[in-house]
Structure 1
């Protein structure tokens, strides 16, 4: 929710679509309630506790696939005004007249017990994953915005537009799958540059058009009218002007649209237009223009003036001032009408709403945000109890997060790490570019919610997990291995170039040979991919019997690697 009307549509032209590396090493405040609501509307199939399933996969993907550091924010005690607005929204959606069912005062704004229990389960889950969780005093998006404005996080992940009113600088509204630039981001700096609006302007728009705490706003004023009205005032002046208008002072017309003082025009004035020729439309009389053309008509002296075309508008100084005067009077009348609408609204503007939006105390006292490591054994018990997942499945699904932590730890210390004694680094591999191109995209897949787990592959009697890693992390953890990997890749490219050059020299028909080459490269790639998928299905049945000490595992590639940058598609092999 947030600001009423089509507020997001107003901001849409100033959104930026960012790529997969946008969140790398960024701290992101996540409105957990928004995730839970979004999860329940997104999953159509019968899934056991979808809020836990998607929170689990989203957290892992944010942390490992996109390199972000999520901070989860949960709601505190919402404002009583929001409770009233929520009940009014329910009445409206049910077709019940609000006048016949007055909203009682002092009603608790807490959500129902079922939703609260889901939030608590998700909180317990992300804490077991080692993610920090903060509880807001009121609205979660308010604390998200404060953390962003104070520099504790780099962005907020929420769909509540009023996060900007609370002071947010960058909002990630949604994630668009099957796109090279999947993150739809809104920056306050772009909004200021494009619309000329600042934080207090947005607060004023919400007061006029409605918001989560006052659904109605001012009767007869929507987002478009509110935007047009508030842009006429400066940020420092807009809220004070609304207070004056609310008290009945409807003369609060912006200086920028007041009629300018009459300029030195001789006998002319904005209200009195000079006489114009009815034939050519220029200043002067028709009699004078019959024999000789006026200064505005370019003709021969003996031809007189030209007849004015349909829709002609004179561009002389007198006509320009007259049109400008009419436009200014029209704007003045429009603003006066809006002021009268505002003055008729009782108790406008509501001080408690303004104070709530401008408050900088939303629950971040003694703030200390740290990211820990997953408590694997307790996570297994938790997910086995709530989701009925097998321990082997949970371990494999968590491995991308564990490998990311492993790589980060390797850059700092060589002491025992999260994977010490369980897995051992083996080698680096790169996916074939031909195999990347032939994969078909699932139009319904959301990479953030992707629930694919690594598949075990067998090679010479050993088992491997193959993970998609960021090459910057791999390079920092294993610089010698990465250097050797790139040297090998360069040597392979050189050999392939030489062999293709020799083949092309022996071609009888270059065009037909080029087509056949593409076919022969395509077939083995898809065949190998299909065979590996079958091997993974067979080996996944024996996961529990494999020990963590001497086993080797290999993770399959992401289900949609074509959507990932090259740095993400590098795969790190652990044994």
Structure 2
């Protein structure tokens, strides 16, 4: 969900912090992507009767990014904070998480004892006839053995191995019971994406969730996709704070008042009213002292401090070493066509188009670099022609043409 109605508030109260761009404007940039959002977009867009994997859409979109010389960094969710548990359970219930009960692996009966969140993937361990992995939207990964039984009570775990960005637990049971192992990784993808752009590791974050800004992400891109006519919206956090005349701490409190995934919100408080109250009183504590609690009831045992702390925390991860290489066509065919139902001619056809497009762009880049010493800058380079500008330009030209015809 992100931050409720934050995009609307920015549109009306801080439009100078937004810019309309096109995908080509990010050529040569490193972009962090919230992978769960991208995958869920494709999953929701695919008709259920087709039984296609969202990885198909991810394949096409990734190649489009590479064609535009965009270097994508896919960031995965770890284990979500406890504050998000209620939101995840509501989402799981609305999407029918127990639809896997028809599985004959015998695992679904014990999944409920482990985690009520949605099962996102079942995968056999390569080379094994008995071991398989179960991934949850909670960010946990479990290892099962079909020859072992499941316990009748929720399992208890003990730490087996731990690193900066992961932890592996094993069951405390004396006898072998499922699950055998549990992997967890800390934090939300939005928080890590925001950390990467703040540290300068990437140039921007591509996500549809506005809470990337609340986590301190300095540049957020929305609608960065593979559609030719798509217009990207770029948000700048420094310009947003300047336009709203807020400090970052005040902005985080504003986001909590608007509504986030980590706690409830004050009832009946709209964006304009919330912004006005934060400007007047600067903190949620100050707002609570002056708000009318009859018209704007405050949630009982409101955990806003935990949500605030979550937005301010820096993910405890090692700085990633990023590297990109040419796509492995044979590996893609093996995975998407042999292990998945995608047709091989489609994959190879798209790869051929990708190589041709990449070669054309590289040659054009070489020509531009050679002409760089004598080439005069054009006005369009300072003001890229987006769809909106093209439409305005076309309207002006049409209008000018009509006037000239009358003068004849």
Q: Tell me whether the two structures share a fold, i.e. TM-score over 0.5.
A: yes
Which aligned pairs between 1:324-403 and structure 2 lie closer than 5 A?
336-338=290-292, 345-348=299-302, 350-363=304-317, 365-402=318-355
1:174 counterpart (223, 232, 254): 223
Separation (CA, whole Å) in 1 of partners of 2:196 and 2:291: 40
Partners of 2:222 and 2:55 lie apart in 1 by 21
Structure 2 gaps, min length 5: 97-112, 123-133, 138-164, 167-184, 372-385, 388-408
Contact 1:218–1:341 (8 Å) recurs in 2: no
Gap change, CA 1:157 and 1:378, over 3 Å in 2: same
In the alignment, is the contact (CA less than 8 A) between 1:80 and 1:108 conserved in 2?
no
The residue number in structure 1 matching 2:60 is: 57
TM-score, normalised with respect to structure 2 = 0.62
Deviation at 1:337, TM superposition (A): 3.2
TM-score (norm 1): 0.46
SS of 2:214's partner is coil
Tell me how many residue pairs correspond in the alignment. 299
Question: Structure 2 CA distance, aligned partners of 1:93 and 1:58?
Answer: 25
Q: Deviations over 1:214-247 (max 9, x none)?
A: 2x311232323211111225xxxx3xx434666x
User: In the aligned structure 2, how far is the partner of 1:85 from the partner of 1:56?
Assistant: 30
Q: Please give the alpha-carbon distance, in whole angstroms, between the structure 2 residues aligned to 1:394 and 1:93.
A: 30
Displacement, 1:368?
1.0
Measured after TM superposition, the shift of residue 367 of structure 1 is 1.9
- Residue deviations 1:238-261 (CA, integer Å, cap 9, x gap): 3xx434666xxx3xxxxxxxxxxx
Per-residue CA distance 1:509-544 (angstroms, 9 max, x = gap): xxxxxxxxxxxxxxxxxxxxxxxxxxxxxxxxxxxx
Counterpart position of 1:542: none
- Cα pair distance change 1:338/1:398, threshold 3 Å: farther
Distance 1:118 1:61 in 2: 29
Residue by residue over 1:407-444, the C-alpha shift from the partner in whole angstroms, topping out at 9 and shown as x without a partner, is 5xxxxxxxxxxxxxxxxxxxxxxxxxxxxxxxxxxxxx
- Structure 1 unmatched ranges of 5 or more: 95-105, 120-133, 251-335, 408-467, 481-561, 564-575
Q: Give the structure 2 partner of residue 469 of structure 1.
A: 361
Identify if the C-alpha distance between structure 1 residues 187 and 245 changes in structure 2 by more than 3 Å, giving closer, same or farther.
closer
Change (3 A) 1:202 1:93: farther
CA contact (8 A) 1:73 1:140 kept: yes
Q: Do the aligned partners of residues 16 and 44 (structure 1) sit closer, same or farther apart at CA in structure 2, a change above 3 Å counting?
A: farther
Q: Give the aligned CA root-mean-square deviation in angstroms.
A: 3.8
Paired with 1:93 and 1:338, the residues of 2 have a C-alpha distance of 37
Q: 1:152 aligns with which of 186, 189, 201?
A: 201
| Secondary structure of 1:185's aligned partner | strand
Residues 206 and 217 of structure 1 are in contact (CA less than 8 Å); yes or no, is this contact kept in structure 2? no
Offset, 1:52: 1.4
User: What residue is the counterpart of 2:22 in the other structure?
Assistant: 19
Higher alpha-carbon Rg:
1
SS in 1 for 2:223: strand
Whole-Å Cα distance in 2 between the matches of residues 469 and 93 of structure 1?
Answer: 42
The one-character-per-residue Cα deviations of 1:345-369 (angstroms, maximum 9, x if unpaired) are: 4444532211110011253x14211
Distance 1:53 1:150 in 2: 32
User: Is 1:217–2:265 an aligned residue pair?
Assistant: yes
Q: Distance in 2 between matches of 1:118 and 1:376?
A: 29
Which residue, 208, 213, 229 being the options, matches 1:164? 213
- Aligned twin of 1:202: 251
Cα pair 1:33 1:75 within 8 Å, conserved: yes
Asked which structure has the greater RCO (Cα within 8 Å, sep 6+), the reply is: 2
